[in-house]
């Protein structure tokens, strides 16, 4: 016998297409976020000689050692942190970075994660807009604690354009795949732009050419992290 579905029980023709669109994207758990940090640590760890050479040209050559050591300690806590709430885990990451990354980097990265924790209360998972909020909070914290702005040849020259690009694409209603690719490129282009900048802070400021002609190592390692994050999120789409 052929069963006929009464008209009042039929779904609109495009009902399921609409539902699929609503649920396209990603939802990250804290365990997922720790996997991203593990990958970011691996990329930075593998590029130690290059990053150190960049820092030696304009600074004291210890940027990689400091950042790599801090990330190593955070990644070693992956199982523990992955089982915490985002709020508690980000606070732990912030305090660990503040105490284990030497120099101003520890204060800046620590402050970034502590500020990001404030926007993660009650979050059980992260979606695209949440990632944008996290990066924006980190950017604000670094600007405030470091008394710095984009264009000063710092990590902000990678992070700030990435955040602004993320916001613009969300506002424009771009697809998540397009948005993630644009944010990744903005971070990389931002880091590359530091080659032509004059340093306003740090040891490079005291050089005769104020670091012009050299990439800022902090901007490069920040771009590595954003690049890795965007690639990881793309995998999750």
Phi and psi angles of residue 155, each rounded to the nearest 5 degrees, phi first: -60, -25
Q: What is the residue-wise DSSP string for 136-175? A: HHHHHHHHHHHT--TTSSSTHHHHHHHHHHHHHHHHHT--
- pLDDT tens digits along 98-144: 999 988 899 999 999 999 999 999 899 999 999 999 999 999 999 99
Residue range 27-236, CATH number: 1.25.40.340
Q: What is the dihedral of CA 47, 53, 56, 62, to 10 degrees?
A: 20
**Is pTM beyond 0.85 here?**
yes
Residue with the bigger pLDDT between 10 and 74: it is 74
Q: At residue 15, does pLDDT exceed 50? A: no
The pLDDT score that the predictor gives to residue 202 is 61
Helix (H, G, I), strand (E, B) or coil at 3: coil
Residues 6+ apart with CB under 8 A from 127: 25, 26, 27, 28
CA 89 to chain centre: 16
Helix H or strand E segment including 23: helix 15-23
Q: Where are the domains of the chain?
A: 27-236
Phi and psi angles of residue 147, each rounded to the nearest 5 degrees, phi first: 50, 45
Q: State the average pLDDT for the chain.
A: 90
In whole angstroms, what is the distance from residue 43 CA to residue 73 CA? 15
Q: Would you state the structure tokens that stand for residue 219, as one six-digit string?
A: 């901007």
Centre a 10 Å sphere on the Cβ of residue 196 and count the other Cβ atoms it contains: 11
């Amino acid at each position: 016998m052929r069963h006929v579905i009464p008209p009042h029980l039929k779904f609109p023709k495009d009902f399921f297409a609409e539902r699929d669109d609503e649920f396209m994207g990603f939802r990250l758990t804290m365990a997922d976020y720790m996997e991203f940090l593990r990958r970011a640590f691996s990329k930075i760890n593998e590029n130690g000689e290059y990053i150190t050479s960049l820092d030696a040209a304009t600074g004291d050559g210890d940027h990689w050692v400091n950042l790599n050591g801090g990330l190593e300690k955070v990644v070693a806590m992956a199982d523990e942190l992955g089982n915490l709430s985002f709020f508690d885990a980000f606070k732990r990451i912030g305090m660990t970075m503040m105490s284990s990354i030497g120099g101003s980097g520890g204060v800046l990265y620590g402050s970034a994660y502590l500020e990001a924790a404030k926007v993660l209360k009650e979050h059980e998972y992260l979606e695209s807009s949440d990632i944008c909020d996290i990066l924006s909070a980190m950017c604000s914290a670094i600007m405030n604690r470091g008394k710095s702005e984009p264009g000063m040849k710092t990590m902000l020259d990678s992070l700030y354009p990435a955040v602004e690009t993320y916001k613009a694409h969300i506002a424009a209603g771009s697809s998540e795949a397009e948005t993630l690719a644009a944010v990744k490129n903005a971070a990389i282009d931002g880091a590359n732009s530091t080659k032509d900048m004059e340093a306003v802070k740090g040891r490079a400021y005291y050089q005769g050419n104020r670091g012009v002609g050299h990439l800022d190592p902090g901007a490069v390692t920040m771009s590595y992290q954003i690049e890795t994050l965007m690639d990881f999120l793309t995998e999750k789409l």
